[in-house]
Structures are given as structure tokens and as C-alpha cells.
């Protein structure tokens, strides 16, 4: 598409300028593989894809802005490429959908090394192939304010298997996969210039979307609502509660914390519930399900090699609270991780 003044081609004498817009697009898309569901992929004005018979289309998009969502000093290009796609795949998974197709739009500073773009694409396309997602198009232009990445992922699913935020029922259990708070703790440690263990760092820089667990739960019809945890379980379960017209009570002592999380926070006077409850970027699944299906839920998720933990109960009265071991309500604002700020 035309820019109002200059494109990558004219803006500077960098390696990117030498390559030009179309050379750059060729380079970005060089590693893209064909896929049976893609009838016309990259190279035409629009991509043509075939939905599986009887399925509906799920679409989600995310932007990642330099110095807002990532910093080039912390996020190496390979893992940034993986994460750019992972966060949108996670949204499709949280609906119970199978991720299938992706669009990638990049606004690239003219001094960005070509090597950065090559490694970014290697990461992006590795995440794509791990999840059987085909890159079918995008847009490429120059940026004067840092690298901007916009990713759209489309997926598909049978209508009766799609899981929404609305659907949680009073007395359902509230569940979460994996562990929470690791990515947020990793970020806090980076911000403070402290050493961060590889486990925490990879939770932050290379999140793993829980596609197989989400699909297994959706296809077994076991869950009443589901969301991916990008803003912390408290806020994200809050979205489920709001959309379902219910409330919830979360048990702090039930929150699944990783060994690395416990190790890093052991020296602190208070257990840092703030990060576990409200730290972002876990990309785990939070879902609700009837109490009668506890065993089935455990079996279903364990088959995917994923741990799952009951962290609370859906209430009929609105509002989401968190309680400590003795049942005292916990105020997320006043306690928790102040030691780290």
C-alpha cells in the first residue's frame, strides 16, 4: 500500500532500503510453506482459504508495540517472533477453536538489521508450524517510532464446541492450567536489573499457548466458560464473571505457583499474591466447569501433559473476591508485591 511520503525504499540508505519494499516482503515470506486449507496464499490481493465443512470462523488480532509490549534489549528477535503469534493463537484456543491461518503486519524502523527480521520470522514460522498455522498474508511498511507488529489469527470450530466467556454457572469450579505469576515475576526482575532464572524468563519471552488442552476441553464439552490469562487470573476471571452475570471467590492458597516462582519470592516477608493474581502474560487457560466433572477435567487435561488446578468457586452474587487460607478477604491493591516496586 502507498505511504503519504516515503516507503522503506526511499527513506534511508540502510540494508532495508537496498532491499526495497518488495524485496523485503519476499524475504519475510521466504520460509512460508503451503498448506492444504490455503487455496491462494501470499502474493495476491487477498488470501483464499477453505473452512472445514460445518465449522465457523474465529478471528482475533493483537498488536505488539516496541517499548510498550516489548523491549528489543530484553526480547530477542527469535522469541519475539514466536510470542507475536503465540498470544493470538492463545485467544483462538481460549474459544475452543483450532488455530489455522495468520496475517502478519509489520511497521519496521529503517535501521532495523535484516538479521533481526530473519530471526523474527524464523521464530514466527516455527510457532506457526508447531500449531499447524499457515501464514497467508500481511502488510509491510516503514516506521519512525519503533517496530510495530500486528498479528491476526483465524481459527475454526463446530458451533456447539465454541466456548465463550459467558456461560459460567453458580457453583461451578474455577480452574486454571499450569502456573501463574511467572511471566510477571520475570518482568519485575528484569525491570529491577536482577538476574532472572531461565524458567521465569522463558515464561515471559516465549509463552506457550495451551492449544491442546483448550481443544480437548472444548471437544469433550466439559467447560461452561473459558478465557486465556493475559492480564492475571483476577482480572481475566473477572471478565468471565461479568459476561456470565455471576461472581466468584478465588482461594489464594490454591493458586498454582511454580518452583521458580516460590524460590525467587521465598525471601520476601509476604507471599507475593499480587503477581500471581494480577501479573500479566501467563497465557494459561482459566475456565469454569460443573463440580460433578472434576475427575473428567483432570483426566482430560492431564492427557495433554498439562497440570490443572481448582482455584475457586463461581458465586451467584456479583463481584470477584480472593480469600486467604483463613477465609479473610484479600485486597489486591494493598497487599502483595509492594516489595518489588
- Binding-site ranges for ligand ADP (CB under 6 A): 1, 25, 28-29, 42-45, 104-106, 135, 137-140
* Residue 77 contacts residue 106 (beta carbons within 8 Å): no
Q: How far is the CB of 1 from ligand ADP (least distance, A)?
A: 5
Identify which of residues 82 and 203 has a Cβ nearer to ligand ADP in the complex: 82
* Residue 176 contacts residue 253 (beta carbons within 8 Å): no
Identify which of residues 25 and 89 has a Cβ nearer to ligand ADP in the complex: 25
Question: Which residue, among 153, 143, 141, 144, has the nearest Cα to 28 in the 3D structure?
Answer: 141
Region label for 74, one of left (φ > 0), alpha (ψ between -120 and 50) or beta (otherwise): alpha
* Residue 228 contacts residue 218 (beta carbons within 8 Å): no
Identify which of residues 137 and 181 has a Cβ nearer to ligand ADP in the complex: 137
Identify which of residues 96 and 138 has a Cβ nearer to ligand ADP in the complex: 138
Residue 231 CA from chain centroid, whole number: 10
The CA dihedral of 258, 264, 265, 268, to the nearest 10 degrees, is 170
Identify which of residues 115 and 139 has a Cβ nearer to ligand ADP in the complex: 139
Contact of residue 45 among Mg ion, ligand ADP, none (CB under 5-8 Å per partner type) = ligand ADP
Contact of residue 104 among Mg ion, ligand ADP, none (CB under 5-8 Å per partner type) = ligand ADP
Q: How far is the CB of 1 from Mg ion (least distance, A)?
A: 4
Cα 90 from Cα 211, distance rounded (Å): 7
Q: How far is the CB of 139 from ligand ADP (least distance, A)?
A: 5
Q: How far is the CB of 74 from ligand ADP (least distance, A)?
A: 23
Q: Where are the beta strands (DSSP E) in the chain?
A: 38-40, 48-49, 56-65, 98-109, 134-143, 148-157, 173-177, 225-229, 247-251, 284-289, 308-315, 319-323, 329-330
Among 18, 67, 115, 139, binds Mg ion (CB under 5 A): 139
Q: How far is the CB of 37 from ligand ADP (least distance, A)?
A: 16
1 binds Mg ion per the rule CB under 5 A: yes
Q: How far is the CB of 40 from ligand ADP (least distance, A)?
A: 9
* Residue 240 contacts residue 286 (beta carbons within 8 Å): yes
Contacting positions for Mg ion (CB under 5 A): 1, 139
Amino acid at each position: 500500500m502507498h505511504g503519504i511520503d516515503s516507503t522503506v525504499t526511499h527513506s534511508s540508505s540502510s540494508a532495508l532500503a537496498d532491499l526495497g519494499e518488495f524485496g523485503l516482503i519476499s524475504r519475510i515470506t521466504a520460509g512460508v510453506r503451503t498448506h492444504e486449507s490455503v487455496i491462494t496464499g501470499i502474493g495476491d490481493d487477498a488470501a483464499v482459504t477453505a473452512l472445514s465443512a460445518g465449522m465457523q470462523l474465529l478471528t482475533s488480532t493483537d498488536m505488539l508495540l516496541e517499548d510498550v509490549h516489548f523491549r528489543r534489549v530484553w526480547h530477542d528477535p527469535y522469541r519475539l517472533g514466536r510470542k507475536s503469534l503465540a498470544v493470538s493463537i492463545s485467544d483462538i484456543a481460549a474459544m475452543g477453536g483450532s488455530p489455522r491461518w495468520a496475517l502478519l503486519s509489520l511497521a519496521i524502523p529503517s535501521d532495523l538489521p535484516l538479521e533481526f527480521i530473519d530471526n523474527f520470522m524464523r521464530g514466527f514460522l516455527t510457532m506457526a508450524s508447531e500449531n499447524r498455522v499457515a501464514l497467508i498474508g500481511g502488510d509491510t511498511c516503514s516506521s519512525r517510532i519503533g517496530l510495530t507488529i500486528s498479528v491476526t489469527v483465524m481459527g475454526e470450530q463446530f458451533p456447539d464446541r465454541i466456548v465463550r466467556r459467558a456461560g459460567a454457572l453458580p457453583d461451578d469450579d474455577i480452574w486454571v492450567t499450569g502456573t501463574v505469576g511467572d511471566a510477571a515475576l520475570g518482568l519485575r526482575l528484569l525491570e529491577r536489573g536482577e538476574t532472572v532464572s531461565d524458567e521465569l524468563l522463558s515464561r515471559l519471552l516465549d509463552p506457550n499457548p495451551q492449544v491442546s488442552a483448550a481443544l480437548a476441553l472444548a471437544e469433550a464439552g466439559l467447560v461452561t466458560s473459558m478465557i486465556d490469562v493475559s492480564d492475571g487470573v483476577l482480572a481475566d476471571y473477572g471478565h468471565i464473571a461479568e459476561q456470565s452475570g455471576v461472581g466468584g471467590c478465588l482461594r489464594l492458597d490454591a493458586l498454582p505457583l511454580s518452583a521458580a516462582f516460590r524460590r525467587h519470592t521465598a525471601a520476601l516477608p509476604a507471599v507475593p499474591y499480587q503477581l500471581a493474581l494480577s501479573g500479566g502474560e501467563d497465557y494459561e487457560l482459566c475456565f469454569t466447569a460443573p463440580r460433578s466433572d472434576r475427575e473428567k477435567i483432570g483426566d482430560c487435561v492431564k492427557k495433554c501433559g498439562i497440570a490443572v488446578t481448582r482455584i475457586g468457586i463461581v458465586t451467584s452474587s456479583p463481584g470477584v473476591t480472593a480469600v486467604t487460607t483463613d477465609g479473610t478477604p484479600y485486597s489486591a491493591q494493598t497487599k502483595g508485591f509492594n516489595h518489588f516496586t
